[in-house]
Chain A
Amino acid sequence: MARYLTPVRIGILILTEQYLSGQFASSGQLGVLSFIASHITARGGSTGKEGQDAFVGLDANAAEILGPLAKFASDVPGRTAYDALLQRLWKLDGLDAAYELFERLGQVIAPISEAEEVQKVVSRASPLSQSIRRCSVEFTRLQFADTQALWAAFVAWRASTYDIWAQRNPDAAACYAEIATSSGDHPANARRSMTEEEGRYVSAEDTNDLITSSVHHLQKMGTRVPDAMRRKLQSWIHEQRDAGVQSLQHFLAFFEHWRSGQYTMALESLHRYFDYSLIGKGPSGGTENMRIYYQYALLHLSVLHADFDCWEESVDAMDECIATARENQDTACLNFALSWLLYLRQAKPDNRVSAFGSVSGLLGGTAGEQDEISFLKAKARETKHWSLLSSTLLEEAKLDMYMTGSTTKSVELIMQSAFVNVQHDLRTLMPATSLFEGAAFDRLAQSQLAARAHDTIQIVYGDQAPLSDRTRSLCRTAYGIAQNGRCSAGLDMLRDFLPCVSGVLKLEQRVTAFMNLLQLMGSLRQCVLGDPELDFELDLLEIELYIRQRDLDTAMKAVNAHIRQTEGHSPADIAHRLHFLVLKSTIFALSGQATKGFSIALRAASTAARLRLLPTLLEAIAALATTLKDLSEFDAARRLLDAALPMMIETRHCRLTARSFVTLGEGHVGLAGTTCAPDSSERLQQIRAAEALIERGRESYARLEDTSGVLDCLVMEAALARWRGDAQLAARADAQYAQIPRDRHEAAE
């Protein structure tokens, strides 16, 4: 595989040779020269749109690339430069012709000792000569088999122009066809042509550029590589044997995994990238390279950790990154790492201590956040690191908003940041600034202006904005619209946006959450409030949410409020009241105050029994049993549930059944522990029973798709199995436990 040469470049070389021999009409020469120039000039850094344009021709065939030449005239009347080129292109009739071409090209360039200026010879320093020389050097260095592959690729590449050429040169075409049929039946040729079909020939350098640019894009935009493109990239990478490309591939994979939320895979890919980069880069030995790359690897590692909420690891990695960067005197990396550290601390204030330690150590003395920010700002100005300056300003604005609450000051800082962005063309940072601007305006109750700021991101920065910023702004906009009363419009907006974030797990989740929120908002508004039935269900859901969030205080308050509410009004449904009472006892049980809940549950149960409110009664019994269990009255709990379970199953109230099964199982475990003699068969029997019950509970939870319930059951099962010494069963339970989050994950993908 050639490092640089591709069929396209050979085509351009042929054109160059033709141009130098003056085969084009004087009117066309300039055009041809500019065409050549556009192909041989080095791609200027792969930033912005130009970088992407450079790859357009990579996958195209000869007809597509050389087609524009048809505009220019050749020195033969009636023939365009395209025709002339095709004629030359097809004159290459074999591998040997390629060698001849490069031999001829070698003579075109002026010799090193320029004794006299010869006409029609390219000087050594000219761009044309540089490109020719580069190609020639590469061609000389190619192994024979690589040359063969290059030639085959060239033949495949030019095939698209056969029709046009044959039309213009029927004689030559007939001759060619004859040779092709006579020599084409060689099995080796057939084999080769089959392999050629699969992918176009791309040089190592192009692949490298392409991957670098893709990585850059991923890094900047936070998007994912489209499937089709990934396949193509894979096929190209597969052909490369260059170690650098191989390692970049892992870097690409790292971003892919990261976006799709596969934390461990991302970590693995990052490490792999680092390992392979050490091998690949240069023969000078790994240690030197390691020092250069290590800090960046750490930086990525830290960001990755942070993104998956592993704050401790993230801060640790960042600390080491800072240390390494200081050692290597890499100011850019150091400053960036410091600003990240600042962000980390704000994102997770719990880690204050460790974060402070490192930063204050750096700055000398126990510095406050303000000091750090001013330090970073000064550093950024000093090193002309404008993106750092801009982001630090934003950070300061955020701090101001959070702490001192002076929004005006924040707005001023945001404006400063915007100014820096505009002045230094920091397009990727502009959306972030706009976001802050929007937030600030929101605080100033200028929602119209805030909406404008958000719109700016969508309209002005569109494709160039990082996906996360876009998502954030879109969600805010949609929310704003919903607040405006156009709920469905906001929903539609989000729904349209959903395909853009597909594959990026976090953003996808965010958009879905916002959609749910809007839907809820909409439905709350639409439904006629005051329908007591609905109110009750809503209230129940609210309390359940609190319980799920383990916010038991609030839950208790809400329950108490509802109980009070139902107390006063005579038309209140007694069933509702009882239900709330049961809930109250459940909350007590959950908070470890089972005794308090006991009487409440008992009262509720007896009332329900009296009133024949069977569902409520069953709920109450379940709560009572839980309380009894918590009070170590295992036998009582067991007998209660044994009696009630058939009825519960009849109600088809799945959650209730599940909970009861589990409680019953727990009761059996308690019995085994308290009443049975150690190592007795009785005890084993109890445990077996418990296991069976918990298994049934798990099944019920599974039917409810209540993951946390299932997980709890699995933990219990594993513990019981382990007690019994059944390692196999325990392992199975563990495996299932591990499998469930993964499944959920994939479902989310």
Chain B
Amino acid sequence: MALSSEQQLELQTQLQQVVVACNERCLYFAAKWSAELLNSFATSEDGPTDDGEDTDIDDDTDAPPHGQYLNDDPKEARLEARELPRFFLAKSLFDCREFDRCAAVFLPTQVPHSTSSPQITSPTRVPLSSSQLKLHAQVSSKGKSVFGRQPAKPKTSALPKNLSQKALFLALYARYMSGEKRKNEDSETILGPADGPVTANKEIPGILALLEEYFNARGGLQDITNSQGWLDYLYGIALLRTKSDASAKQWLLRSVNLQPYNWSAWLELASLVGSPEEMQQFSEHLPRNIMSLFFHIHCSQELFQQTPEVFNALAQMESIFPRSAFLQQQKAMLHYHGRDHESALQIFDTLLKEQPHRLDGMEIFSNLLYVLPNRPKLATLASIASDVDKFRPETNCILGNYYSLISEHEKAVLHFRRALTLDRNFQAAWTLMGHEYIELKNTQAAIESYRRAVDTNRKDYRAWYGLGQGYEMLECHSYSLFYYQRAAALYPGDPKMWAAVGNAYAKCNKTANAIQAFKRALVVGSHIDTSSSFGSSGGNNDPLAHAVGGALDPQILYEIACLYEKDGAWDEAAAYMELTLAQEEGAGEEGVGEEEGLGVTQVTCRARLWLARFCYARGEWARTMELANELCQDGWEVEEAKGLVRDVRGRLALAEEEEVEG
């Protein structure tokens, strides 16, 4: 899907305009994203010969053919021109993080934070960390607000007449940020009593009331003729904070239709997508442009859809934006979720090399390095991040991961806490901190951390899994089963999830379900092509011919066997035990290229012992001898095995004697 040069130029112009527009409205994160995109076109286009042409095009667009961002609406333009001095003041105040004062420039009738909230906090002068400014855009903090109810309507119309949309947006957005700041200050320490949903953004009801009034006056949701899309976005996020997901979705959709280049709006929308099916529904209402493709890719990544279609879409986008770090990052994350660690590692490596000062998404890289595990690389990444900025949540996550990998869990927790102090909505840190608390055997804290992670992002299967783990440690098995199921549903591609579900079922004495879950884990985790071995067996005589040599997880096989044993299905159990044993050796006859087996492990030895006993019980002396001798050789459970050998020998000798006598 390569673009013609005109299309590309048009795109560039639009991106330029949107960067300016976002900056005017202090949507810094969206501006950064667009600017990044603007700079990721193919470099060859930037030849010196094109410069003249570029300026020509710029001249053209000054008399705008695509004047969506310029004011084709003369009324708005007039209003903006009139309030320009005040707008400059408000913008500067916002940039200095004096949010209340900024809001008061355009909404002067407002008594400071006169919300419907009974509790009025005093204004403080603590400056806000820079990461705070983008939090609303990066990840939505759903469920943080207790304001489920709509606030009482203001008695008098607080909305001044004759205010341009830009000014109103800035003022309301400043109020929103002021509320966020105050919320952050009131939350106090991480995991403290005031942290969490108890403390909410107290400005939101006021903003909602104002916007509702505003939009009602302009013809409500349906009338999209005289809106620029920014206020809709603000309304959307305010609704989102009050948990009005359905209406939030509508307003956000309206916003992206009116203003497709506001990436923050897309991200908020993405946080509302809970499943691939929902995404399908969404796509009908989306505008047909390049941004919806980005949205599609992002959502697929979030939903762990490593389908070829997504990769195709990615490749298409890459042909337009070959230098986009965002796309690279999405691709790497897709690979990572698809457990294609090598490719992910490579992409992250090049990304880091090309943009060494860009820390966005690097915490995912550190997760990957943790999983691999690759200590030296993680240490290098940590030092690079620490050099770039010691006080970024990403950096602290990377450091935390490193400390976790070298088993310094206290330090890891410290760094995760620091990351969260810098940005409470940094979801990755919540999950990782939960992992650390699990390691430190602080189950309560772990569960709370995971809970917060899940509240921030309901699609994080690791947090769900962690919750399950936590409850498992507390021996609340039905709870842990519930959470494991959520995790497995979110991320069905990981055998660990299914194994956990199976375990939990087993603990709840639901053997049949447990066996099902374990088998699912086997299927997902098998290194062999499922269609040939478990599906239609095709020309192959033995459906299990490939299921040897470590192709299947012996642990799971053993678990299944044990469950069957518990159920009294001896034959099944024995078969699975045999299968477990089979993982030791490669399938010899398949050829030299076949991979080696896993060799002797504890699990296979246990399986062998079980089989030996099983054969013994069935009186298959020769097999028993063979297995027991193998056990002796491997040095596992030697005493037990020797006992068996002695016993069998005795019996054989007795049988011989009897034979002789008889």
Residue numbers of A with Cβ under 8 A of B are: 93-97, 99-100, 103, 140, 144-145, 148, 151, 183, 186-188, 191-192
Contact = CB atoms under 8 A, between A and B. Distances in A.
Interface stretch (B161-169, B206-214, B384-392, B570-578): B384-392
A187 B356 CA distance: 7
B540 interface: no
B356 A94 contact: no
A94 B357 contact: no
A144 B375 contact: no
Contacts of B356: 186-188
A116 B184 CA distance: 55
B384 A94 contact: no
Contacts of B380: 94-96, 183
Nearest to A147: B383
Contact of A191 (B375, B378, B387, B399): B387
B406 interface: yes
Contacts of B383: 95, 148, 151, 188
B358 to A, nearest CB: 12
B192 interface: no
B376 A145 contact: no
18 contacts: A95-B379, A95-B380, A95-B382, A95-B383, A96-B379, A140-B408, A144-B382, A144-B386, A144-B415, A148-B383, A148-B387, A183-B380, A186-B353, A186-B356, A188-B383, A188-B384, A191-B387, A192-B387
A97 B376 contact: yes
Contacts, number: 46
Contacts of A93: 376
Contact of B399 (A96, A103, A144, A192): A144
B631 to A, nearest CB: 30
B1 to A, nearest CB: 34
Smallest CB-CB A-B distances: 6 pairs: A96-B379, A188-B387, A95-B379, A96-B376, A96-B375, A94-B376
Contacts of A186: 353, 356, 384
A306 to B, nearest CB: 50
B388 A188 contact: yes
A187 B386 CA distance: 13
A201 to B, nearest CB: 16
Nearest to B387: A188
A145 B390 contact: yes
A192 B384 CA distance: 10
Contacts of B408: 140
Contacts of A148: 383, 386-387
Interface in B428-477: none
Given A93-B376, A95-B376, 17 more contacts: A94-B379, A95-B379, A96-B375, A96-B376, A96-B378, A96-B379, A97-B376, A99-B375, A144-B382, A144-B415, A145-B390, A148-B387, A186-B356, A187-B356, A188-B356, A188-B383, A188-B384
A280 to B, nearest CB: 25
- Would you call the interface of chain B mostly helix, strand, loop, or mixed? helix
Contacts of A103: 406
Contacts of B390: 145
A140 B409 CA distance: 12
Interface in B364-397: 375-376, 378-380, 382-384, 386-388, 390
Contacts of B376: 93-97
B388 A99 contact: no
B349 to A, nearest CB: 10
Contacts of B384: 186, 188
A139 to B, nearest CB: 11
B387 A99 contact: no
Contacts of A144: 382, 386, 399, 402, 415
Nearest to A183: B380
B398 to A, nearest CB: 10
Contact of B357 (A140, A145, A183, A187): A187
A92 to B, nearest CB: 10
Nearest to A144: B399
A99 B382 contact: no
A99 B379 contact: yes
* From A94, A95, A144, A187, residue with most partner B Cβ within 10 Å: A144
A95 B399 CA distance: 13
B416 to A, nearest CB: 13
Interface in B344-367: 353, 356-357
B350 to A, nearest CB: 12
Interface in B408-427: 408, 415
A726 B408 CA distance: 74
B363 to A, nearest CB: 15
Contacts of B375: 96, 99-100
Contacts of A96: 375-376, 378-380, 406
Contacts of B387: 148, 188, 191-192
B268 to A, nearest CB: 34
A364 B44 CA distance: 98
B139 to A, nearest CB: 25
B334 to A, nearest CB: 26
A260 B555 CA distance: 80
B378 to A, nearest CB: 7
Contact of B386 (A94, A100, A145, A191): A145
Nearest to B407: A103
A151 B376 CA distance: 13
Nearest to B410: A140
A601 to B, nearest CB: 79
Nearest to A192: B387
Contacts of B378: 96
A100 B406 CA distance: 9
A10 to B, nearest CB: 16
A181 B408 CA distance: 31
Contacts of A187: 356-357
Contacts of A99: 375, 379, 406
A423 to B, nearest CB: 56
Contacts of A191: 387
A736 B353 CA distance: 63
A155 to B, nearest CB: 12
B299 to A, nearest CB: 33
A94 B375 CA distance: 10
A421 B402 CA distance: 60
Interface in B102-152: none
Nearest to B398: A144
B573 to A, nearest CB: 42
A144 B382 CA distance: 9
A145 B415 CA distance: 12
A96 B405 CA distance: 11
A483 B339 CA distance: 98
A96 B387 CA distance: 16
B615 to A, nearest CB: 41
A183 B357 CA distance: 15
B355 to A, nearest CB: 11
Contacts of A100: 375
Contacts of B399: 144
Nearest to B375: A96
A410 B384 CA distance: 73
A103 B91 CA distance: 53
Nearest to B384: A188
Contacts of A183: 380
Contacts of A95: 376, 379-380, 382-383
B606 to A, nearest CB: 30
* From A99, A103, A192, residue with most partner B Cβ within 10 Å: A99
Contacts of B386: 144-145, 148
Contacts of B415: 144
A552 to B, nearest CB: 72
A675 B77 CA distance: 85
Nearest to A140: B408
A353 to B, nearest CB: 60
Contacts of B406: 96, 99, 103
A96 B381 CA distance: 11
Nearest to B395: A144
B653 to A, nearest CB: 43
